[in-house]
Amino acid sequence: MKMLTLPPYLSDIQRDIEAHAKKYGLEFFDTIFEMVDYQRMNEVASYGGFPVRYPHWRFGMEYERMSKSFSYGLHKIYELVINNDPCYAYLLEGNSTTEQKMVMAHVYGHCDFFKNNLWFSPTNRKMVDQMANHGARVRRYIDKVGIDEVETFLDVCLSLENLIDRHSPYIRRPDPTPEPEDLDIPVEVPRLTASRGYLERYINPEEVLAKEKERLETQRKTQDRKFPKEPMLDVVTFLARNAPLKKWQEDVLNMVISEAYYFAPQGMTKIMNEGWASYWHSTIMTQDALTDAEIVDFAETHSATMAVSPGGINPYKIGIELFRDIEDRWDRGRFGKEYDDCEDLDEKLHWNRRLGHGRDKIFEVRRIHNDVTFLDEFLTPEFCWRQKLFTFEYNKKRQGFEIFSRDFRSIKQKLLGQLTNFGQPFIFAENANFKNRGELLLLHRHDGVDLDQKWGRETLLNVFRIWSRPVHVRTQIEGKPRLWTHDGKEFSDSPGE
Q: Is 397 in the site for another protein (CB under 8 A)?
A: no
Q: Which stretch binds another protein (CB under 8 A): 174-182, 192-200, 362-370, 401-409?
A: 401-409
Query: 112 vs 274, which CB is nearer to another protein?
Result: 274
Q: Which residues contact 191 (CB under 8 A, 6 or more apart)?
A: 203, 204, 209
Enumerate residues 152-191 that contact another protein by CB under 8 A.
155, 158-160, 162-163
Which CB, 209 or 449, lies closer to another protein? 449
Strands in 87-92's sheet, in edge-to-edge order, are: 31-36, 87-92, 79-82
**# residues contacting another protein (CB under 8 A):** 77
2 phi, psi to nearest 5 deg: -80, 130
Binding status of residue 491 toward another protein by CB under 8 A: no
Scanning 99-107, 180-188, 322-330, 453-461 for contacts with another protein by CB under 8 A, the matching segment is 453-461
d(CA 136, CA 252): 11
Q: Is 456 in the site for another protein (CB under 8 A)?
A: yes
Question: Cα–Cα–Cα angle for 372, 378, 381, nearest 5°?
Answer: 115
Q: Are 16 and 72 in contact (CB under 8 A)?
A: no
In the beta sheet, which residues pair with residue 400? 395
Rg of the chain, C-alpha, whole Å:
28
Q: Which parts of 243-282 interact with another protein (CB under 8 A)?
A: 267
For residues 263, 155, 453, 422, the Cα torsion angle rounded to the nearest 10 degrees is 0
Q: In this chain, which stretch among 16-24, 221-229, 244-252, 402-410 interacts with another protein, using CB under 8 A?
A: 402-410
x/- contact string, 326-365, with another protein (CB under 8 A)?
----------------------------------------
| Of the candidates 27, 48, 30, 127, the residue with the CA atom closest to the CA atom of residue 87 | 30
Angle formed at CA 467 by CA 462 and CA 469, multiple of 5 degrees: 105
Query: Do 104 and 17 form a contact (C-beta atoms < 8 A)?
Result: yes
Binding mask 127-156 for another protein (x = CB under 8 A): ----------------------------x-
Q: How far is the CB of 264 from another protein (least distance, A)?
A: 12
Q: Choose the stretch contacting another protein; rule: CB under 8 A; options: 169-177, 342-350, 351-359, 448-456.
A: 448-456
Residues 462 and 255: beta-carbon distance below 8 Å: no
- 71 contributes a contact to another protein by CB under 8 A: no
Contact 207, 221 (CB under 8 A): no
Q: Does 19 bind another protein (CB under 8 A)?
A: no
Q: By CB under 8 A, which span of 119-127, 198-206, 283-291, 399-407 interacts with another protein?
A: 399-407
Kindly tell me which residue out of 317, 366, 472, 474 binds another protein, with binding defined by CB under 8 A.
317
Shortest spacing between CB 389 and another protein, in angstroms? 6
Site for another protein in 107-126 (CB under 8 A): none
**Considering the complex, what minimum distance in angstroms separates the CB of residue 303 from another protein?**
12
Task: Report residue 444: phi and psi, to 5°.
Answer: -95, 120
- 383: CB partners within 8 A, 6+ apart: 321, 322, 325
| Closest approach of another protein to the CB of residue 136, in Å | 12
- CB nearer another protein, residue 230 or residue 407: 407
Per CB under 8 A, 481 contacts another protein: no
Query: DSSP states of 340-351 as a string?
Result: HH---HHHHHT-
The residue range among 106-114, 221-229, 342-350, 422-430 that interacts with another protein, by the rule CB under 8 A, is: 422-430
For strands 439-445 and 471-477, give the pairing: parallel
